[in-house]
A = this chain, B = another copy of it.
Amino acid sequence: MRTEGRHLLVEYHGCPSARLNDVGAVESILNDAAVAAGATVVQSAFHPFRPQGVSGVVILAESHLSVHTWPEAGYAAVDLYTCGAVDAEAAHVWMARALGARRSDLVWVDRGHLGAARSIAVRGDGGADP
C-alpha cells in the first residue's frame, strides 16, 4: 500500500492575458499536459469567471491537475499532484510553453508523510523576468 505522492506547485508569470481568459484553451492545455505526462484523465471540470479568470481541475487516475488564472496579471497558479509513474516535469514544460509563460516558480512537496518534514525548499526556473 503506497500513499506517497509528488505534488508540484507551479506559478506561471508573464502569460498572454487572452489565453488565460479562454476557458476552452486552458482546459485543452491542462488535458494535453496530463497526456504529455503520461497520466490518465478521469474527469475534467472547468469554470470561467466574470469579469475574467478561469478555474479548472483534471482528475487523473494518478491524482489531479488544477489551475487558477488571473488574466489581468498574466498569472496562473497550477498544482499537479501525482502518484505512480507520471512525468510531472513534462507536464510543466508543456504548460509553460502552451500558456506562453515568461517565468515560472516551482515547489515540490512529497505527500504522504508531511509530518516527517520540517521545511520544503522553493526554487525558481531562472526565467528572465524578476
Contact = CB atoms under 8 A, between A and B. Distances in A.
Contact of A79 (B60, B81, B122): B81
A45 interface: yes
Contacts of A79: 7, 79, 81
B119 A72 contact: no
Interface stretch (A27-35, A62-70, A85-93, A94-102): A62-70
A107 interface: yes
Contact of A68 (B9, B64, B73, B118): B64
A11 B111 contact: yes
A129 B81 CA distance: 25
Contacts of A118: 121-122
A120 B2 CA distance: 25
Interface in A36-83: 42-43, 45, 47, 49, 55-57, 59-61, 63-64, 66, 68, 70, 72-73, 75, 77, 79, 81, 83
26 contacts: A1-B70, A3-B70, A3-B73, A3-B77, A5-B68, A7-B9, A11-B111, A11-B113, A11-B114, A11-B115, A45-B45, A45-B59, A55-B59, A55-B64, A57-B66, A63-B68, A77-B111, A77-B112, A103-B115, A105-B114, A107-B109, A107-B114, A114-B124, A115-B124, A118-B121, A120-B122
